[in-house]
Structure 1
């Protein structure tokens, strides 16, 4: 029997709008990319969203406080691809500087710079590393969703801090549930290259590599997205035991706030890039909106 497809998403840092709204917006951004980049008008695909902001925040972000709602990209036709990225970006300037800091922090295990970045810029990630109870709850939500769709062909899309959670969960599932597989992992705007994050991974999971339960891993990074400061992960994350390597792709995240300001880290911009659409189109081949998990969540 042909296995059905499902796209599973997990969000990143900071408080979010209500779960149902955030889910609709992620799906709308994916659908916009499929329509504009792949010519799939009104695409239908199974989508599941792992929402964890409620574990850190007492109430969802209100409409008045949300400066970055989902907004369709202006105009028509395909969105700009990575080949249209500027030749020099913020990452090209900052990455060499951070590379030196990263090397010292990894060699010494003293992560003063990363600690400051995490505590003051990536507060949720700081708490994820510091509070074991919070980390267990977040991981459990993603693990349960993946287990519920284990009989599907899974595209797992992890944005920002969500990629840290996804990596931890996949390496954990290698040990606890080795028959579960994710067909394609996509990380977007990922901080997996921060020395503090890599040291935490190594302490818990051993040498950095592609998880063995992943058949493909694509990493998307905009050149001006300082969260993904190094851009490429393949240098630090070796191939899986079966030879699967990270495929690093530079993309153009064309998201703009309603006031016109760009945000090259925004999830919606990554989800409608041509590079992501080329992956996601495979998972829009079936009509699985009515498909539900085979196991209770």
Structure 2
């Protein structure tokens, strides 16, 4: 029998605050979503965070440098769900254009547009694809953490570039450690739909499909998140041998910076969506519940 559930997160692009701070903020965002969307104000859950920014950057972001700290949403009650998303978003406008470019890139194998996007907009991901030593070190951190919790029910949450790392590691573990299982993979703001990324997957792992190590895969994408411009992944990744397929969910990522500017790609916004909270509810651990104030008195 599997031991208690654990949520394992891996972050995405760009430099980050110190690991302890980033870990607290991810956990706080998940707890906030459970409290507001699932009426679980005292939810407890085991949480592990895979931090790799230090492999790419000399020093973490200072408080003064960080323009996007975690801040709880204003108000009370459930947060907007995907059914409340705007009818027309950047994805609806740009995705058809990119789809045409994507088709050409896939047919020719020449990915000039994606190369430009990755090198200048997502340079960490570009570096991950060209520097094998760096890629091995990042993958090793996630693989080590998954192996450490192999006897637990695992919810793996991968944001942005972290979803590419997670996918590569899970396909790698199919071959190296086939008995390891991730009960639920959640990708958020994922660039896995980009032609360049899929070509890299094919060259290393074969045809894109759900890893055999995964029981369920849910992909969350805000329509205005340009990193997830292709949005739906079900059409790209075939089911695995057990019939598990990608379930795409359109969400509302309402994160705003302290100056009020929105960032529809931010991890905290994804972690507080009702769609993610419904999944996280199944991995809450009553034995880790936070005591109520009156019970502590």
Partner SS state of residue 48, structure 1 = strand
Partner SS state of residue 21, structure 1 = helix
Contact 1:91 1:223 in 2 (8 A): yes
Q: Deviations over 1:54-75 (max 9, x none)?
A: 0000000010010000000110
Contact 1:81 1:274 in 2 (8 A): yes
Q: Deviations over 1:176-218 (max 9, x none)?
A: 0000000000000000000000000000000110001100000
Alpha-carbon distance in structure 1 between the residues aligned to 2:209 and 2:117: 24
Determine the structure 2 residue equivalent to 1:29: 29
Runs of 4+ in 1 over 4 A off after TM superposition: none
Alpha-carbon distance in structure 2 between the residues aligned to 1:108 and 1:6: 43
Determine the structure 1 residue equivalent to 2:223: 223
Alpha-carbon distance in structure 2 between the residues aligned to 1:124 and 1:62: 19
Q: CA RMSD in A?
A: 0.9
Alpha-carbon distance in structure 2 between the residues aligned to 1:42 and 1:167: 32
Partner SS state of residue 283, structure 1 = coil
Structure 2 residue 188 is the aligned partner of structure 1 residue 204: no
Contact 2:46 2:285 in 1 (8 A): no
Partner SS state of residue 117, structure 1 = helix
Residues 143-162 of structure 1: pairs in structure 2 closer than 5 A: 143-162=143-162
Contact 1:4 1:288 in 2 (8 A): no
Structure 2 residue 281 is the aligned partner of structure 1 residue 281: yes
- The answer for unaligned runs of 5 or more in structure 2 is 290-297
Determine the structure 1 residue equivalent to 2:53: 53
Q: Deviations over 1:234-285 (max 9, x none)?
A: 0110101111010000000010000001000000000000000000011113
Structure 2 residue 119 is the aligned partner of structure 1 residue 114: no
Alpha-carbon distance in structure 1 between the residues aligned to 2:240 and 2:282: 23
Determine the structure 2 residue equivalent to 1:72: 72
Partner SS state of residue 153, structure 1 = strand
Partner SS state of residue 287, structure 1 = helix
Determine the structure 2 residue equivalent to 1:178: 178
TM (norm. structure 1) is 0.96
TM (norm. structure 2) is 0.96
Alpha-carbon distance in structure 1 between the residues aligned to 2:223 and 2:285: 31
Determine the structure 1 residue equivalent to 2:128: 128
Q: Deviations over 1:23-67 (max 9, x none)?
A: 000000000000000000121100000000000000000100100
- The answer for unaligned runs of 5 or more in structure 1 is 290-297
Structure 2 residue 233 is the aligned partner of structure 1 residue 236: no
For residue 163 of structure 1, report the CA deviation from its aligned partner: 0.1
Residues 134-145 of structure 1: pairs in structure 2 closer than 5 A: 134-145=134-145
